[in-house]
Chain A
Amino acid sequence: MSGLSTFTMILEGLLAGAGVTVAVTLASLLLSVSLGFLLAIVRQFGKRRMLHALIDAYCEIMRNIPALTHLFILYFGLASIGFRLSSISAAILGLGLIGGAITCDLFRAGFAALPKGQAEAALAVGFTPYRTIVDILTPQAMRIALPSLGNYAVQLLKDTSIVSAIAAPEIMFYARSMVTSSFQTTLIYSTVAILYLALALPLMRRSACSKPGTRG
């Protein structure tokens, strides 16, 4: 068997998992950005101390426990008390909930970077706090947060590789099973590397293009 056709075979095998990798990345990205934005708004503009404390605790818990531990709790832990999630839903939920804590901080940094006068000027023209947040603060905070969100998205794409540990059939999952049957370790994992690079580069590009201050 020629080297090229082996490589093609490996690539085809891995591509079967690429769909799941992309789907898990996009779904957990959507979940984490929505959750993170919501948490950031409540934490930044909400008046209830109790909620602030809860959000802070949530962020600390999510960020200071390894992602793999979270995934095991969701997948095996919940199953043991009779609540069975599919490996893909557990992966999306786990990475999304962790990502909510990460992006919450990114959005908060965006809001915190805005001068106080931006909100004051909005209130002074008669905007309600809601309109101030929607029309004046959020668009500006988004622009500031976007490059870090791009970095986060790339990180997330790479992190999906750990969900093979709960048997989600993504790239790494197929790679491991191919290695077990063919022992082509170097070739397979190098192909995996190339595949991740090919998926990550366009994301990286996008986030690098959206520097704050550039006008849309």
Chain B
Amino acid sequence: MNPLLSVTGLTKSYGAVEVLKGIDFDVAAGEKIALIGPSGSGKSTCLRCLNFLEKPSAGAIHLDGERIGVRLGRPMSDRQLAPQRAEMGMVFQLFNLWPHLSVTENVAIAARKVRGLPAKEAQELALDMLAKVHMTHRADASPLELSGGQQQRVAIARALAQKPKLMLFDELTSALDPELVHEVLKVMEELAAEGRTMLIVTHEIAFARDIADRVLFLDGGRIVEQGPARALILSPREPRTQAFLRQIRH
């Protein structure tokens, strides 16, 4: 069977600095993949290249067989990219909720304006998604009134409301107070149990081990090692992976 997502030869440079030096991997439908690695290894950049928030310098990304960001050999504009981006839900480190809109509206607005759902249906969808992340009780609040963990759960609901083929999570617990990390990870476990396809950039190694099917270890813009989550994290083969994991445990 064809993979849901395939990434081949992905590179990204900022001027003379090459952040990604040729990344290749496939993701099957329903697979959960964790990207780990030291800061500056390129894992966030890699994730942001998938929906073209960063424009890759070279390489190809296919989602469900469709080339992302390139049409007839020409790069697509942001306007042309919009429908492709809608197929991928993204959750950011800093939540990026829209503070001028209520919690429900944050989740509902794209359903109306991107997918063209009637207001009532979008509202119902938003409430369903908020229920999934256990945030129904704050549906009418402003994002500014919420804790970090609550904001991140609303951000997850917003991405879920896109009915995406693929979910991208960019260090979603890195900006949270330690005691709030748990509530977000719990939601993630529930999503994983639903069989969603998830790509997770994370520093939470124990979480990666438990939730992911496969782990990619990135360092210096390359995939240094990859394999089944448990095996890679418990007994890494590459010296660099070993050093990284040893450092993180202490």
Contact = CB atoms under 8 A, between A and B. Distances in A.
Interface of A: 115, 117-118, 120-131, 135-136, 139-140, 143, 213, 215
A126 B100 contact: no
B75 to A, nearest CB: 13
A115 B92 CA distance: 13
Interface stretch (B9-17, B83-91, B200-208, B240-248): B83-91
Q: How large is the interface on B (under 10, 10 to 19, 20 to 34, 35 or more residues)?
A: 20 to 34
Given A120-B53, A135-B113, A125 B85 contact: yes
Interface string B159-183: 1001000000000000000000000
A123 B98 contact: no
Contacts of A120: 53, 92, 96
A128 B100 CA distance: 19
A131 B142 contact: no
A208 B35 CA distance: 49
Contacts of B117: none
B82 A127 contact: yes
Contacts, number: 71
SS class, residues of chain A in contact with chain B: helix
Given A126-B114, A126-B162, A135-B109, A118 B98 contact: yes
Interface of B: 51, 53, 78-79, 81-83, 85-86, 88-90, 92, 94, 96-100, 109-110, 113-115, 142, 144, 155, 158-159, 162
16 contacts: A117-B96, A118-B96, A121-B98, A121-B158, A123-B53, A123-B78, A124-B53, A124-B88, A124-B90, A124-B92, A125-B85, A125-B86, A125-B158, A128-B78, A131-B113, A140-B99
B100 A140 contact: yes
Contacts of B97: 121
A215 B79 CA distance: 31
A10 B69 CA distance: 70
A45 to B, nearest CB: 10
Given A125-B162, A129-B79, A131-B113, A215 B96 contact: no
